[in-house]
A = this chain, B = another copy of it.
């Protein structure tokens, strides 16, 4: 039942050979011509397979000599340290993050930008600009009064049906009416939280977590209770269970089970299932932010935690997602499937900003309904894989000893632990003056636990300029790292 295109099967064959050590770093790949003979494929299939492996960072092309297996220099870099799941939790906090983010934004606005390593989306060329433009133009032509007609209260969003269908990949069974389109995932998170919590309530979040979430909590007068979270396997369900026993007024849990921002971690399916069951038992809403979940592998799509929110349950998982990272960074499109809170979420969205306008929805709905969407996603995933590998190699090569790093299996964020005692804020301040933008770890927690971490994004293609920026950044890190004891 192998329905993969030929070139993917061919690249899969050699990927395995490389990953299992059959082909060693520095060794030469069979030439393209040899591949056509060996595997009875066309020249273009062989070329495409090699490009795929190059995109993934497994091969490098050397002028006039063909493809070689890339040296994996980062074999000796350690993953970031694991948290202590049993540690005593900090008191639930609700002040301060706005100031940190304001400082970040102000400095980003002030200094001219050369290399952006803080973005959380791919570069424009990685998205289907032309196809979306054409879809938008067609929508404008077909619905000639699109821009001048107020949406009627009875009208459906054109996007809901295709979102419901695409959600099947993540194991969710939703109908169009279960879905509400929002102004980005940010608005989805806002209305989800407002639906389930009141000012003064406590919300359990991962530690570290997305700074945008901490800002939302602060702006709504909610207290963030940070739960230990593994850079590999995400939220510690065990630690959350402990938190329920020691804290009351926890009204919601917000998690990013798939390709966490900033960690890149993925919760194993059994942990997702345990988490859903735990929140259900506690009658505490589980808000899932799946912004990056689709940016993994074509062949093994990640399941949403909401996939375990089965009919037997009462719809306790509020699923939030975005099209901004996967499809259209220039549009404000996200969505929420709010389970048993859906009516309340709908009323809050109506009260906060009314229904999203139709143009953007028509545009992406048309594209997402076609197989061009699948092709786009396959290409995007492949490119990101290569960029993650290349960026990780460069960090491993340039950064001082004591740096730790994990390379996630999807998305575009690398979570870099600097040598203990290094101030990421000082590194950020020095780097931004040289036009290099990174995100300091202090933005992702109300605690100081991540003050020696950087989040480095590889959404943009790796290049000489990026490599150069990483060298400069590494030098800044080295200057700011405490001298090792003599």
Assess the A347–B153 pair: CB atoms within 8 A.
Answer: no
Assess the A331–B357 pair: CB atoms within 8 A.
Answer: yes
Residues in B whose Cβ lies below 8 Å from that of A85: none
Residues in B whose Cβ lies below 8 Å from that of A113: 152, 154
Instruction: A152 to B118: give the CA distance in the assembly, Å.
Output: 11
Instruction: A62 to B330: give the CA distance in the assembly, Å.
Output: 54
Assess the B186–A183 pair: CB atoms within 8 A.
Answer: no
Instruction: A190 to B121: give the CA distance in the assembly, Å.
Output: 28
Best-buried of A132, A133, A150 by chain B (most CB within 10 Å): A150
Best-buried of A184, A186, A350, A363 by chain B (most CB within 10 Å): A350
Residues in B whose Cβ lies below 8 Å from that of A18: none
Assess the A183–B328 pair: CB atoms within 8 A.
Answer: no
A350 to chain B, nearest CB (A): 8
Question: A135-159 vs B: 1/0 string, CB under 8 Å?
Answer: 0110011001111111111100000
Assess the B352–A219 pair: CB atoms within 8 A.
Answer: yes
Residues in B whose Cβ lies below 8 Å from that of A332: 183, 353-354, 356-357
Q: Which B residue sits closest to A216, measured CB to CB?
A: B351
Assess the B147–A328 pair: CB atoms within 8 A.
Answer: yes
Assess the B140–A124 pair: CB atoms within 8 A.
Answer: no
Indicate if A417 sits at the interface (CB-CB under 8 A): no
Residues in B whose Cβ lies below 8 Å from that of A363: 147
Tally of contact residues, A, Cβ under 8 A: 62
Given the known interface contacts A109-B153, A363-B147, the answer about A352 and B190 at a Cβ–Cβ threshold of 8 Å is yes
A3 to chain B, nearest CB (A): 28
Residues of chain A in range 323-341 having any CB-CB distance to chain B below 8 Å? 324, 328-332
Q: Which B residue sits closest to A213, measured CB to CB?
A: B351
Among B121, B137, B216, the residue within 8 A (CB) of A140 is: B137
Given the known interface contacts A144-B129, A199-B221, the answer about A329 and B149 at a Cβ–Cβ threshold of 8 Å is yes
Assess the B129–A136 pair: CB atoms within 8 A.
Answer: no
Among B133, B358, B360, the residue within 8 A (CB) of A144 is: B133
Residues in B whose Cβ lies below 8 Å from that of A198: 221
Residues of chain A in range 206-220 having any CB-CB distance to chain B below 8 Å? 212, 215-216, 219
Indicate if A98 sits at the interface (CB-CB under 8 A): yes
Q: Which B residue sits closest to A133, measured CB to CB?
A: B140
Assess the A133–B150 pair: CB atoms within 8 A.
Answer: no
Q: Which B residue sits closest to A135, measured CB to CB?
A: B147
Assess the B187–A352 pair: CB atoms within 8 A.
Answer: yes
Residues of chain A in range 100-135 having any CB-CB distance to chain B below 8 Å? 102, 105, 108-109, 113, 119, 121, 124, 127-130, 132-133
A-B contact pairs, 16 of them (CB 8 A): A105-B350, A121-B150, A133-B140, A133-B144, A183-B183, A183-B353, A184-B354, A190-B351, A194-B219, A199-B221, A215-B351, A219-B347, A219-B348, A330-B357, A332-B356, A357-B360
3 nearest A-B pairs in the assembled complex, by CB-CB distance: A127-B148, A150-B329, A183-B353
